[in-house]
Amino acid sequence: MRKVAIIGGQRVPFVKSFAQYRRTTNQEMLTACLNALIRRYGLEDKRLGDVALGVVMTHSTDWNLARECVVGSSLNPHTPAYNLQRACATSLDAAVQLGLRIAAGQIETGIAGGSDTNSDLPAMIRRQLSWKLIDLRNARSFGERLKILTSIGFKDLSPLYPSTLEPRTGLSMGQHTELMVKEWGITRQQQDALAYDSHMHAARAYDAGFFNDLVFEFKGVKKDTIVRPDTTPEKLAALKPAFDRSGTGSLTAGNSTLYSDGASAILLSSEEYAQQHNWQPVAYLIDAESAAVDYVHGDGLLIAPTYAVARLLKRNHLTLQDFDVYEIHEAFCGQVLCTLKAWEDADYCKKLGYDTPLGRIDRSKLNIKGGSVAIGHPFGATGARIVAQTAKILQERGGGRALISICTAGGMGTVAILQR
């Protein structure tokens, strides 16, 4: 198996939904990311091995979105492309899939990425109306058509919008996380403290120019708009619970990710191809693992990365402490803290196949350039954002090993190891 080089990433600034990117499509954002990579790495009219792109909230007309983005870019039109989706881990999974194909020698290079926008939601008609319209199209007489038309009521005409509720439980991701933090005894103060750190780390990273070559200007926006360098623990503490208003809720708009719009993409290649094109790899994708839990019958919806990490560590003969950088996706600060506490719990770790706890991590190594709470979380874009950001952290520090962990809807999680 060949080494999989991460050459670099490009992304649009992540913004709060229904703001700067109103009337902007996923295709427009993803095509912009492709063109940014093309310009930076001299890929004009180059045929790549493959392009894997994903969107969580996608329109039915975007059934061939990845290929349309490629055709709309300045890549050689003979470059193939395909769509994929694994909720919030979509673009990390895209990188893993292309990485495996590069490692196996099937392709030399590829681009992985993802996007999401709440500002261009795929509003849908109700299934009952859809069936009636199909019947109307197939009707053979005026009488049949009239009968179908008169059967259409006001309820049929009301649109359906994508929901973040889990179909099996009827609960939102935030409500599920409220159950998790209560189970694990995570306090509001702990969640707010992690949120504060996320904003401070991101703000300092911007001040130091860390994001200058990762984020390009798009539609007049030059940097992520959700980062709050002026937030304080007091401001965060003043926010009201957002998901549980019974008096026991602790998740707020401050310690949870906001609805965000954005896109990101990363360029991967074999080490040999990188040398031929004078590309300096930022880091290498070493291994990855996905897991799922039975959240319908009591498991925490966002706890699956604990299982994935446990299996990944065993396969690579590593401990949880053998990392210089930890990038844990902050869907909610409470979810991150539950994950960390679970790894420290002896009884829980027995379910992971360990006789002793995986143990604590050094919190000074966690999300050191800001996490999703501060930067934003356009679902399909987060994985590629984290890979590019983590790889650059390893480059800046001159080497090391990083652990990436992303929880997803449906009780799943995907994790990966990067190294330089």
**Does 201 participate in catalysis according to the annotation?**
no
What's the per-residue H, E or C state across the chain? CCCEEEEEEEECCCEECCCCCCCCCHHHHHHHHHHHHHHHHCCCCCCCCEEEEEECCCCHHHCCHHHHHHHCCCCCCCCCEEECCECECHHHHHHHHHHHHHHCCCCCEEEEEEEECCCCCCCECCHHHHHHHHHHHHCCCHHHHHHHHHCCCHHHHCCECCCCECCCCCCEHHHHHHHHHHHHCCCHHHHHHHHHHHHHHHHHHHHCCCCCCCECCECCECCCCCCCCCCCHHHHHCCCECCCCCCCCCCECCCECCCEEEEEEEEEEEHHHHHHCCCCCCEEEEEEEEEECCHHHCCCCCCHHHHHHHHHHHHCCCCCCCCCEEEECCCEHHHHHHHHHHHCCHHHHHHCCCCCCCCCCCHHHECCCCCHHHHCCCHHHHHHHHHHHHHHHHHHCCCCEEEEEEEECCCEEEEEEEEC
Ramachandran sector of residue 256 (left: φ over 0; alpha: ψ -120 to 50; beta: rest):
beta
Looking at residue 181, its amino acid is V
Choose the catalytic residue: 69, 333, 338, 407.
Answer: 407
Give yes or no for a contact between 400 and 394, defined as CB atoms under 8 angstroms apart.
Answer: yes
Across the strands, what pairs with 402? 325, 418
Catalytic residue among 33, 69, 88, 333: 88
Let me know if 88 is a catalytic residue.
yes
- Residue 394, phi then psi, degrees to nearest 5: -65, -40
Q: Catalytic residue numbers?
A: 88, 377, 407
